Amino acid sequence: MAQRVTRSVNENNLPGPSKNSNIPVLGGRKRKAVEEIKKDDPKKGTKRAAFGDITNAKEAEKNPTAGGNLKSTVKKGLSNLKSKTVSRSKVEKKSVPIEEKNVEDKPPPLCISTSSEEALLCNLSSDTSTTSTEEKVDVDTTLLECPEPERSVPPAGVTDFDLENLSDPQQHSAYAMETFKYYQEREAVFKVPNYMPAQQEITETMRAILIDWLVEVQESFELNHETLYTAVKMTDLYLSKKQVRKEDLQLVGATACLIACKVDERVPPMVDDFLYVCDDAYSRDQLMRMERKMLSVVGFDLGYSLTYRFLRRYGRVCRITMPVLTLARYILELSLMDYSFNVECSESEVAASCLVLALNMKGIKGWGLNLSYYSGRPVTSLQSMVDRLLAMLHQPPKDSLKTVRSKYGHKVFHEVASTPVPKEVKVAEL
């Protein structure tokens, strides 16, 4: 066990080593000698230089009249080093094979030793500061030129959104297409299977109540929407791999939200905050153990392909207004509570279908070509998903699932929850 280093205060009220300290303390004779030296010359002490004790103390003892300054010591050290290097070079020349005699011998460097004192002597020497023109090495200063990535040019009739924002570094325009293509490729990696039949105590209604509670937590803590969608995705992945009791379902959701906050939030809430919103139903130890267990089950790769990111991208390339985008977000957030839209589904398909439904509900046209190009799928292929979302909107609201509707019924969200829902929507590529 390591000894604890403490500090004490001496008679001058200055910090110094205590009895239990690992710092060495001078003995009686050495202390008296130091005190006598300090009386004669207060500038002298027991400090050691970083590169070693290079002083003229020893030279002065041998020859008091000579003075033994630093310059003479440095010159003496350099002469010794040169004699060593010369002798080494002679030995090396003798050991050269016969076949290598014609090879041009390069002079060895002066600083062979790696000790700090000899390196300091070499640096202090004024004779070795200048090098001859023969020893100069030509350095190639040409810079390696990295070719610009080839941009995919959209077809005729499609607005080149990324080209218009290419000068803005925050738009990520040069790699936006590659980024979302990469997200689409990762959808298959994190696709959630149909796990509900394997769960013995959890039902789809209980899961919907949990997601509704997570939306309330996200609104209370003012978290990013990416945090909410990451927490829902992590919860589904965990439930697809582990059996969970109904009394532990809220603990799973709270832990998933805690981990998601550490990924997406700059100032994540504390553990005590999550214990508070759980009404102290769980202890700190239970939450921390569940966090370690959840990460070991779902893995540490939390870069999920979120539907919210796809929806925001598609809304920007179609140049829709904020009320229309908010309506699409409202439909998408309602789909989080529906089990069927979160298992065995494509995130990009669900996001594009929510936008198509919102555009049709607002009667906006002229977006078909842009959405087809940037989403990577024709708009007409989204008809079945749009019909499912429309059926979800026609369902009567439940008393236990009111958070999303009340949230998007506020003026801040343009009261999109009160938008009339059509009976049917015909998706056409316009």
Residue 92 CB neighbour total at 10 angstroms: 11
Match 């004490």 to its residue by tokens.
8
The model's confidence at residue 171, banded by pLDDT at 50, 70 and 90, is: confident
Q: Strand locations in 262-320, DSSP E?
A: none
Name 3's Cβ contacts closer than 8 Å, sequence gap at least 6: 20, 22
Tell me how far apart the alpha carbons of residues 285 and 33 are, in angstroms, rounded to a whole number.
59
* Residue 384 within any structural domain of the chain: yes
Please give the tally of structural domains in the chain.
2
Can you give the CATH number for the domain in which 380 is found? Answer: 1.10.472.10
Give yes or no for residue 74 having a pLDDT over 70.
Answer: no
pLDDT digits (tens, 9 = 90+) for 268-320: 999 999 999 999 999 999 999 999 999 999 999 998 999 999 999 999 999 99
Percent of the chain with pLDDT over 70: 65
Residues 332 and 275 in one domain: no
Q: How confident is the model at residue 148 (pLDDT cuts 50, 70, 90)?
A: low
Q: Which of 269, 298, 327 is the last residue of a domain?
A: 298
* 3-class state of residue 8 by DSSP: strand
Q: Does residue 398 share a domain with residue 365?
A: yes
Residue 200, domain member (yes or no): yes
> In the listed set 245, 264, 298, which residue is the last one of a domain according to the structure?
298
Q: Answer whether residue 143 is part of any domain.
A: no
Give the percent of the chain with pLDDT over 90.
54
Global pTM exceeds 0.85: no
Q: What is the mean pLDDT of residues 182-209?
A: 94
- Residue 40: band (very low, low, confident or very high) from pLDDT cuts 50, 70, 90: low
Asked if residue 242 is part of any domain, the answer here is yes
How do residues 258-271 score in pLDDT, each as one tens digit? Answer: 999 999 999 999 99
Q: What is d(CA 392, CA 331) in angstroms, rounded to the nearest whole number?
A: 9
- Give me the domain span that covers residue 242: 188-298
What's the pLDDT tens digit per position in 78-137? 565 555 555 554 444 444 444 444 444 555 444 444 444 444 334 444 444 444 444 545
Judge if 209 and 292 occupy the same domain: yes
